A and B are shown apart, each in its own frame.
Chain A
Amino acid sequence: MKKLFAALLSAAMLLSLVSCGGDTATSPAPSAPAAESESVSSTFKAAMVTDVGGINDQSYNSMSWAGMQKAHDELGIDVKYYESKTDADYEANMITAIDEGYNLIICVGYLMVDALSEIAPQYPDTKFAIIDAYVDEPNVTGINFASEQCSYLVGVLAAQMSQTGNIGLVMGGTGDAMNLFAFGYYAGALDTNPDIAIQAYNANNYADVAGGKSAALHMYANDADVVYQVAGSTGLGVIEAAKEKGLYAIGVEVDQSYLAPEAVITSALRLIDNAVLQVCQAAMEDTLEGGISMYDLSNNCVGYAETDLLSAEALSAVQDAQAKIISGEIKVPRTNDDFVAKYGAGLYTLDEALNG
């Protein structure tokens, strides 16, 4: 009997907890609409759909959500995210967001291209934005980053910081989007030091840490002392190699110096959060246009990370380059033709050199 009482009591406690919780948790709810009614637009709602990386991926999805939260704080719009666990979720998530009345739906990542090209024409009144991709519909905005600009800046830094005049590049794959990184890096390095030697390697894999490491070790053995990685997890191996050899590596996407503060001299940043915030604002003000929107240095959506390892000389050179890119004095090549026209053929050729 005692046990039964205990069980009943604990059940009662559990229930009371639940009901208390209900009260405390609902109490902020009424205040939320009040706060909204004060702000300019209470009706605008923006949602984002994550790719299979999930909301806590510390990368695209996390940064996009950070941008959405900024948009909530600064613009007072309603924001929400829908998490995708598998490919099958993309479409379902978009549809749910549409059903719930969201005006703008941001799709994080090119994996959603197929799903979006199916959904967008069905819902012409909803605005869509997709990161790093593009779908040819009037209500879709492609959020594209000037990856060549931030790569140019880290190329300048690599050439400045290299003692040997020999630097490296490890790529996770090729393709138009990936090549932007390579063009920018080459251009930045060559503009700084026309005689610089650049070793490039295409791992053709974004998840091969060991492969990235051995490629970087190979480059360091061949006199390179700075290696730039654009290779996802494969790039983590590059940073590991730099740490081991006491040489330098350059990170990508986010400031990766936390991985190895003594080895990562800078990182090519793509500030997805800023871009997402700008997209939300444009959509709210109804100025968001379909087509590809470029997010670059001029609107603070790409950049480089500063660390203590960078010399004063290198810093002033990179600030100079940044100002020149923004003013249009330096045009960083975006296509192979532009690159070859300015720097000559044979330096960076898509198929041969990268597979070295």
Chain B
Amino acid sequence: MSSKKSSAPSTLGRSFWQRVLFHNMSDTLLAIVLGFLMGALALVIAGYSPLTAYGKLFSVIFGSPRNMSYSFIEFASPYILTGLSVAFSFKTGIFNIGAEGQYVVGSVAALLVGYFIHAPAFIHIPLCIFAAILAGVLWGALVGILKLRFGTNEILCMIMFNWIAYYLSNYIVNLRPVLSAPGKTWSHTIQDTAKITISGWSSLLSNKVHAGIFLALAAALAVYYILYKTTLGFRLKAVGHNINGAKFAGIPTEKATMITLMISGGLASLAGGLQVLGVTYKISQFAGQEGYGFQGITVALIASSHPLGVILAGLFYGAMKFGGTRFDAPSEIVDIIMGCIVFFIAISGLIRANIQRLAERRDKHAANDP
């Protein structure tokens, strides 16, 4: 939020509504409203009633404690983490489009440790989580090495690393010791000691409520702390704002890039790991990319890359994902809505500039007409 504020320095002295308009949060909310309007348009074109469909969407998401636990816990937690991963990278001047692959390596690491190692739960679970994070950190570091040593473009690199992770996962799942049985297309399930599902707490909740949500929230707070309360965070943001300026100020920018790639890699892979430990327990051969990482980009954009905003955006996204395949309209509508929201957020700067110009012209008129 702070960066946007500084980009519109002349907000002081404006009217209340203008100040509200210049504020980031209201941009986002406005974009969400507009996104839903566009979704309504799409619904009308497709021959559905938007009111009925949105009513249904709302009632599916909030209909019962179980549905809410699906929406805001089971579905939201991976998006919070991948969103966080991308948001963190945005803040520090890198576009982590590799979250998808990092998510995948995290899930593979959690699966392997979760299945092959036998240990009591209080050791096994942290071990799996550690393995998942480590996998993503290393996966991110690989890109960092390629970028810093060989000058490879990190975006291209990460896009390709997504595919490498995708096929690596399929390869590992297909290995004899990992595959559940010959002819099957999914792996063994992890040991019971590695599972972090906590649905047993209440029969009102969905079957796969898992402790990962707490880790996701903790991660968001940790990222907030790192970015805004530590020297490291200041340095990383400085590199993100202006790499030459940061270099001139004596900040080791290469190290900063490396750290960014490693941390955001670890965040995305944690998402993948938790999904295996809490929800799926196994990995199937992919038929296509699952998109948790790519959708993290949407989440980060909705949150304006603010780590605490990511929590809200992730909850919102998770709910929309849960509701989107269950309301009485094609699930693509939700993708249209999300796409439009991102679009409107992206052009909000343009709208703001126009309103500003309009207001200035009116001020000029007011000054000319006594």
Contacts and interface: CB of A to CB of B under 8 A. Distances in A.
A126 to B, nearest CB: 15
B151 interface: no
Contacts of A139: none
Contacts of B95: none
Contacts of A195: none
Given A88-B275, A91-B208, A21 B74 contact: no
A88 B280 contact: yes
A174 interface: yes
Contacts of B326: 82, 93, 96
B50 interface: yes
Interface residues on A, range: 35 or more
A114 interface: yes
A173 interface: yes
Contacts of B292: 86
A1 to B, nearest CB: 8
A354 B250 CA distance: 64
Contact of A18 (B41, B64, B186): B41
Contacts of A29: 49, 52
Nearest to A90: B280
A312 interface: no
Interface in B318-335: 321-322, 325-326, 328, 331
A99 interface: yes
A25 B70 contact: no
B208 A88 contact: yes
Interface string A169-186: 000011111100000000
A93 B207 CA distance: 12
Interface stretch (B81-89, B177-185, B302-310): B177-185
B183 A95 contact: no
A118 interface: yes
A342 interface: no
B346 interface: no
Contacts of A119: 207
B52 A26 contact: yes
A53 B207 contact: no
A18 B37 contact: yes
Interface in A86-139: 86-89, 91-93, 95-96, 99, 111, 114, 118-119
Interface in A63-94: 80, 82-89, 91-93
A26 B328 CA distance: 13
A22 interface: yes
Given A85-B291, A88-B279, A173-B183, A22 B325 contact: no
B224 interface: no
A83 B331 CA distance: 8
Most buried by A among B47, B52, B280, B354: B280
Given A25-B48, A53-B287, A85-B291, A95 B206 contact: yes
Contact of B325 (A17, A83, A174): A83
23 contacts: A3-B354, A3-B358, A22-B44, A22-B51, A22-B52, A25-B48, A25-B50, A82-B325, A83-B325, A83-B331, A85-B290, A87-B280, A88-B75, A92-B208, A93-B325, A95-B206, A96-B67, A96-B326, A111-B185, A111-B186, A174-B183, A175-B182, A177-B183
Interface of A: 3-4, 14, 17-18, 20-22, 25-26, 29, 52-53, 80, 82-89, 91-93, 95-96, 99, 111, 114, 118-119, 173-178
Given A25-B48, A87-B280, A87-B284, 16 more contacts: A18-B41, A18-B50, A20-B44, A22-B51, A84-B325, A86-B280, A86-B292, A88-B74, A88-B280, A89-B325, A91-B208, A92-B75, A92-B208, A96-B67, A99-B63, A111-B185
